[in-house]
Structure 1
């Protein structure tokens, strides 16, 4: 065979991404017209023409500006994994998002198992001196004692990182 599975994945990811680079503006409107807006009973097509056009333009811009996660999506499908809606975001000064973690699980993983795994992940994060509880937060895992055991250089790094980052469970 003159190609590998990786070649197939790469080409699928390329085509997946290409579909988002120049979205069909008219098609966006056609696909959204019969869809309900959020948790309302209103459909996009019920909006007046100016409001509908503004919404369609906003959707077009969001599609064009979306991060290229094509290879990730292809790999998830190939591994029979499905994305989970819960994410975790590390924020910096001024609330700017620095890192966002997304998760995927095997389809047979129950909701309870998924949430248990994510809760365990959060618990581990809070043991890390760089993302442990900030001043005024509870310290059930003894961060203060751990931080006191660090040498001066590591302690300075940990304190700087704690001051700059905070883990936010986006499900909350």
Structure 2
């Protein structure tokens, strides 16, 4: 019997709870304040402006409200994230999405070991995509 009063699963569950607690629930004002000095992602490669450099203060309220809604409406994937990290996996930027007339039907995200070769990563995503495509009607 172990001297520790907790298991690895206990550690993961607590990490997921805390990660989840720090995400949703921010007010629009907190979201607004947090974005002021943050670079706009699409301009990061060109050393582009921060939100406050790109927009006057009154114009920041609309994107702040949208960002706040996205945060508060986000799916809680804290438990998945904790398990991925505990297993030493890292997310890939690639994803597969099946669309319907009403928006996405499903979306698959991938996480792999950091030492997985690029060609194997590509084969994984493409192979799964090709296999799924066999079951969709062609237009």
> TM-score, normalised on structure 1?
0.67
Alpha carbon RMSD of aligned pairs, Å? 2.0
* Counterpart residue number, 1:125: 132
Q: Does 1:99 align with 2:106?
A: yes
Unaligned runs of 5+ in 2: none
> Which of the numbers 128, 134, 158 marks the counterpart of 2:138?
134
Determine which structure has the larger strand proportion and give its number.
2
Moved over 3 A (4+): 24-31
**Per the alignment, in what secondary structure is the counterpart of residue 86 of structure 1?**
strand
> Which of the numbers 16, 21, 25 marks the counterpart of 1:18?
21
Q: Does 1:83 align with 2:91?
A: yes
Whose radius of gyration is greater, 1 or 2? 1
CA distance in 2, matches of 1:24, 1:110: 42
Unaligned runs of 5+ in 1: 136-172
- May I ask how many residue pairs the two structures share in their alignment? 131
* Counterpart residue number, 1:160: none
